[in-house]
Amino acid sequence: MNGVNHPAPHRDGPFGRPLFDSPEARALSRVGVVDVGSNSVRLVVFDGAARSPAYFFNEKVMCGLGAGMAETGRLDPAGRVRALDALRRFAHVADGLGTGPLNAVATAAVREAEDGPDFVAEVERETGIRLFVIDGPEEARLSAQGVLLGWPGAYGLVCDMGGSSMELAEIDGGRVGRCVSAQLGPLKLRDLKGGKKARKALIRDTVERLREGLGEQRNRLFLVGGSWRAIARIDMVRRGYPLHVLHEYRMTAADLRATIKHIGKHDADALRLQSGVSASRIALVPYAAEVLREVVRSFRPHDIAVSSYGIREGLLYEQMPDALRERDPLIEACRFSEAKDARLPGFGRVIYRFVAPLYRSARPERLRLVKAACLLHDVSWRAHPDYRAEDCFDNATRANLGGLKHSERVFLGLALLHRYSNKRAGTRFDMLEALISEREREEAEILGRALRLGAMLWLTGERDIARLRWHPRRKVLGIDLEPDAAALFGEVARARFKALAGALGAAPELRVGHRKVPL
């Protein structure tokens, strides 16, 4: 471990001024979004005041509006009835939740169907919901914005598969570039005449045309959409992957090839039982897998990441002020959580100043996890003491937080676990320990022990009554207390200080005022 020069106290500290309580951010509270897709119809109500979206309400109905359109040119009659029923319900739910007018979009099936305009008119007449039918490039742009909501500054190619179409969008430096759309959705492919041979030719020719239009795309491939998530879930099961969080799940091209072969060897019922994917979704997975295999073969991305954020999150991102878009989604969400749940909101930035000397040479990606841990260190205080440590761990590893790789989730969770417990054996960390290195485990434990010590001192925001000194070369860990803080440094605090020094392999040293005090 290394350390930083102790920063001067500042009201907002290293986190910047919070934005979640500004009028612009408060206006994003209870934002209702409806997505009428070719396969599903969904209502999401966001509490969007923080930079990471909180899913206040989330409901999906598999309607299959686009089923059979290749033959009839019209929306599926049964799907249309189900979609209208779902939208009636959603209108009532949104009214009860106080969302105000819903932001509602319809995609490929409605825009391509002969009776699409009639359906839009019927929805508004029956429910009061005004559906905006968006074209393919706009759908691609909104999906890419959803990815940017979770990955600020991301670069690569966003690939969003719906029921009837597939959209591609470039992102670079937090901006959306070229956007294209193609009719490669699994509902379209399932209904294509000519069987597998015809599908293979259509997929190959279409993807090749898309590649020629977009050029080289050797960066990250972001997968958006239910069919891709279903394939990722099957990949998790095949690999025995221990953390069942789809957002930021990473795969290689080799992983995908193996999983696509696995899909080809098993029938739908077996795959559904293995993965927990719904029957309606699993029926479309083989068609989606054929497309994904060709996309990866043609564009050759250096890695592949699953995004749970897509068009609905893109609609929320569209409404965010630039000042909020530019914030780190992890830190803003943690600040929001601290303000809502911590016993002493604002203590997170104080305890960050306390632990900062341990991180003088830390990289920015490590510092943001330290900041996040400081903000979250006390939000689980209501849990029973016997379960508080695991509650913290579960919150970090399973919560809907943007901008976190899986290894970072486990690191953050382990640090928070050690905030409340000296031991981790026998906890749920045992199942996830392979996701981080031994060195990362040691660093997470050190951070947790530092938080455990700092929490004993109940530092004030006006001045730092306790300061850590870290001398990595001499292997000395010191703590300097103001004279009026000496009473806080009781028997338990001393034991925690010695435990932190032991984790660092350092000798502990205590000063009160300018006087060295034996431990």
pLDDT tens readout for residues 227-279 = 999 999 999 999 999 999 999 999 999 999 999 999 999 999 999 998 999 99
pLDDT at 323 over 60: yes
Residue 415 CA, chain-centre distance (Å), reads 19
- DSSP annotation of 109 reads H
**pLDDT at residue 26, rounded to an integer:** 58
What is the structure's pLDDT at 23? 61
Dump pLDDT digits (tens) for 358-400. Answer: 999 999 999 999 999 999 999 999 999 988 999 999 999 988 8
CA dihedral 450, 451, 452, 456 (to 10 degrees): 110
| 493 in Cβ contact with 476 (< 8 Å) | no
CATH code matching the domain that covers 137-313, chosen among 2.60.34.10, 3.30.420.150, 3.40.50.300, 3.40.50.2300:
3.30.420.150
Query: To 10 degrees, the CA torsion angle through 389, 395, 397, 402?
Result: -150
Q: Amino acid identity of 73?
A: G
Residue with tokens 């612009």: 24
3-state helix, strand, coil in the chain (%, to 5): 50, 15, 30
Flag whether pLDDT at 15 surpasses 80: no
pLDDT tens sequence across 153-194? 889 999 999 999 999 999 998 899 999 999 999 999 998 889
DSSP state of 356: G
Q: Do domains 23-133 and 137-313 have the same CATH topology?
A: yes
- The CATH number of the structural domain formed by 23-133 is 3.30.420.40
pLDDT band (50, 70, 90) for residue 131: very high
The per-residue pLDDT of the chain, averaged, comes to 90
127: CB partners within 8 A, 6+ apart: 84, 87, 88, 90, 91
> Residue 401's pLDDT band (boundaries 50, 70, 90)?
confident
Look up residue 80 and give its amino acid: R
Rounded Cα–Cα distance for residues 123 and 89 (Å) = 12
pLDDT band of residue 17 (cuts 50, 70, 90) is low
- How far apart (Å, rounded) are the C-alpha atoms in residues 455 and 136? 52
Taking alpha carbons only, the member of 167, 288, 290 closest to residue 222 is: 167
Domain range list for the chain: 23-133, 137-313, 327-517
pLDDT band at 18 (very low <50, low <70, confident <90, very high): low
Grade residue 222 by pLDDT with cuts at 50, 70 and 90: very high
Q: What fold does the segment set 327-517 form as a domain?
A: Hypothetical protein af1432 (1.10.3210)
Interval 47-92: pLDDT, tens:
865 677 788 899 999 999 999 998 899 999 999 999 999 999 999 9
